[in-house]
Amino acid sequence: MNNQQPRSDSFDAACYEIRVQGLLSTDRYDWLESTILSFNKQQTVLLINLPDQSALYGLLKRIRDCGLPLLSIQRVSFNRCIPEEAYKTTMKAAITERYGNSDTVSIQKIPTPKPGPTEVLIKIKTTTVNSADWRIRSLNVPRGFGLLLRLAFGFSKPRKLVFGMELAGTIVCVGEDVDQFDVGDEVIAFPGSKMGAHAEYIALDENSNILHKPANMDWDAAAALCFGGTTAYDFLMNKGKLNAGERVLINGASGTVGSAAIQIAKYYGAIVTAVCSADNAKLAYQLGADNVVDYRTEDFTTLNQQWDIILDAVGNAAFSRVSHSLLPSGRLLMVVADLPQTLKSLLINGKDNKRAIAGTAREEYGDLQQLINLFTKGAFKPVIQQVLPFQDIRKAHAILDHGHKRGSLVIQVDDDLN
């Protein structure tokens, strides 16, 4: 990355951004053919690379001859942006202006974010619609969390109109103080609860959860890596302290979190039982499960078996229901739990040191790096149910409204991927 600043006592070839009141067009002025133009509120923004000061003066004279007022001119660092991308003034975004069903989501044009000094602008290739997007939009949350969700995300309507918690894309512009990334870098990003990924562009601080995408990871898998993977990793490894040789049951094993949990638990040496429908049993075995329980015909709590860890990604395995299915020092990891269960988990230390653990999954850079490491080793790959174009993002929300999702729903934002 070249951070060298131009000398103040000389004029080198440089890129200039020139703003003019009124509309200029290459149809009327052929001398604009080598210029990148964008338009915003009756203004024309010209971006042009000029070889010397004489060329700059000549261009300004032609603009004056058109009778259009000159608003501003500034020298920009050409190697820090891809001009045809970074200077787009508007972008498409999926907007959710009120709480409700999938019909509340619509694609609209909104201003493209401009990166600050420590931010990067990412052109989004792919993103996902996940269960967190669904819960926030629909207000379908476990008992007791409705008011807390409104306080966090907006009481009468969503405070953040653009949802989306994970993405993959290409950096098209970097702020002047950025030194960890450069234009053209292919990255995975996890804005998490800050959201904003259901759009063509997003500006993120370089020190947020952004990682370089492995060359052998496709765009669909890259987008689906973060949400389910970090949730499963955090509950199993950080909260649950999984040890090799332990017996682990995963309730809801075919969903985004459950399918990730099978692979992570297996890699770290666990003996895995997956609870899912018979339709998804083959998938569970392929991911590494040692045993499968069909929840439609069997209740795992009535089996004469015990586990060191029960990870509940469904929300129907209260401690009172499953404690007898835990081995001594067993842990119930409640990925989905209502507020009373969450509060009780802070106090539970049952017979034989059995305990329940609840709470939100952390959004940590280190966990993301571990997931990428597992991917490069062939130990983890996100399960994808369906890939949809951006214009069909409402369909992805509708699928979540009907439940029983198998893996991730990936949205291809970039038209070039469709």
Highest mean pLDDT among 36-50, 169-183, 241-255: 241-255
State pLDDT tens for residues 236-281.
999 999 999 999 999 999 999 999 999 999 999 999 999 999 999 9
Instruction: Say if residue 77's pLDDT is above 80.
Output: no
Angle at 26 between CA 22 and CA 31, to 5 degrees: 105
Domain 90-225+384-417 in CATH: superfamily? Medium-chain alcohol dehydrogenases, catalytic domain (3.90.180.10)
- pTM of structure: 0.82
pLDDT at 84: 66
The per-residue pLDDT for 93 is: 98
296, 203 Cβ separation under 8 angstroms = no
Strand pairing report for 271-276 and 201-205: unpaired
Give 71's pLDDT tier (boundaries 50, 70, 90). Answer: very high
pLDDT score at 89: 76
Integer Cα distance of 413 and 105 in angstroms? 15
Q: Following CA atoms 11, 16, 21, 27 in sequence, which dihedral angle do they give, to the nearest 10 degrees?
A: 110
Q: Which of 56-70, 130-144, 196-210 has the lowest mean pLDDT?
A: 56-70
How is domain 14-79 classified at the CATH fold level? Alpha-Beta Plaits (3.30.70)
d(CA 119, CA 310): 40
Q: What's the chain's length in residues?
A: 418
370-404 pLDDT, tens per residue? 999 999 999 999 999 999 999 999 999 999 999 87
> Going by C-beta distance under 8 Å and a sequence separation of 6 or more, which residues neighbour residue 37?
24, 25, 26, 44, 45, 46, 47
CA 417, distance to chain mean position in Å, is: 18
Report which secondary-structure segment, H or E, holds 333: strand 326-334
For the chain, what are the domain ranges? Answer: 14-79, 90-225+384-417, 228-357
Among 127, 168, 92, 201, CA closest to 397: 127
Q: Which CATH superfamily is domain 228-357 in?
A: NAD(P)-binding Rossmann-like Domain (3.40.50.720)
